[in-house]
Chains A and B, each alone.
Chain A
Amino acid sequence: MNINTTKVISLLFFIFSAFYLYTAYQIQVFAFDENAPFNARTFPIYLGYAGLFFSGLKLILPDPNTIKVQHKTLEYKKTAILIVIAIIYGATILKVGYFLTTSLFLFSSYYFLGERRWVLMFLLSFPFVAAFMYLLHGVLDIYLRDPFLQSIGVMG
């Protein structure tokens, strides 16, 4: 069976809008605000209905511009690896510090994307991040938390 993915996304959006609308009705407002012409839940309720309306229309109306994605040509594996590396980067950046995690993130991303020119990979990770850190922290005075560099005494 050929499933139209746009319709599936529209159905998911319809369900999401229904959930949003349900949650909007659950928003606790002050007792004196309950019957006011406008309170904290008014706008979200309108949005919930708007979401149901547009996704519902998309579901029921014919779709003359069906998008056909050639899944075989898409690089799912490399994209997934990159996302996982980004998640690990996000998880470690605060504990380990900006310099080391960012440099390793860049180096490993180059590697997983197929790069093997080691010198260039190194130059565009460790020294590049150091220069960028200097620009942000040293020149623009934007604070960068880095426990690793602090522990080895490079950063104050």
Chain B
Amino acid sequence: MNLSDAADVLLGAEATASALEPLTDSWQELDLATATAVQHLTLSRRLARGERLTGLKLGLTSRAKQRRMGIDTPLTAFLTDAMVLRLGEPLRLGGLIHPRAEPEIVFLMGERLAGPGVTAAEALAAVASVSCGVEIIDSRFRDFRFKLPDVVADNASAARYVLGPRRVDPSSLDLTLEACVVELNGRVVDSATGAAVQGHPAEALAEAVNALALEGIALEAGWSVLTGGMTDAVELVPGSSLRVDFTHLGSVVIQASGGEAQ
């Protein structure tokens, strides 16, 4: 398999909502650098077919998850306008493989931010506003079974994202104590605070921007940055009703329907 084949296979699995075996099963030499190149190639193909780059998602932003995967910085992947789910719009599960939802703190970048050497304070100073959001992850690999290079190539399982209704000035918030309460079908199933994201979501942002600098990538003004799941991901099935309430950032409700994607 080469870069182009891998990008084809991944985008094909996404388009047809059919699960793949991990790339590393048959392509043992797939290392992180190559996987990153695959991720970048899938982005080029998305842009070539008319999608617009809207920002970045961070993955594996808890120390516990990083230890399990053997890394010490968050994963990054790209978001496009095709992944945006509008607030209140039902999530059609037909176009997805095995979607799971994660509550996240989202930064809207006010200024360009480029590493290396960026601190959390500098990163936060480049943030124009903070929102809440829910990310729908959907690994293209069967049963979410993958190795690190697989998930990097697979754009960190990015599938859809919803932004909450509020835009809050970051200097007015203590994000370490900004909480989310996750309710599935009327029952609270989980809760967490922003401290679960690398101690503070701005720490995750700084680490990500410094890691991206090694690839010559900077964050642009206007980008949304999903800073990583605060709780375990919640499985969604047809009929699932998910509600996430944040302390200061408002709420997001997602109704999952069985219908085909448009």
A binds B: no
A residues near B (Cβ < 8 Å) are: none
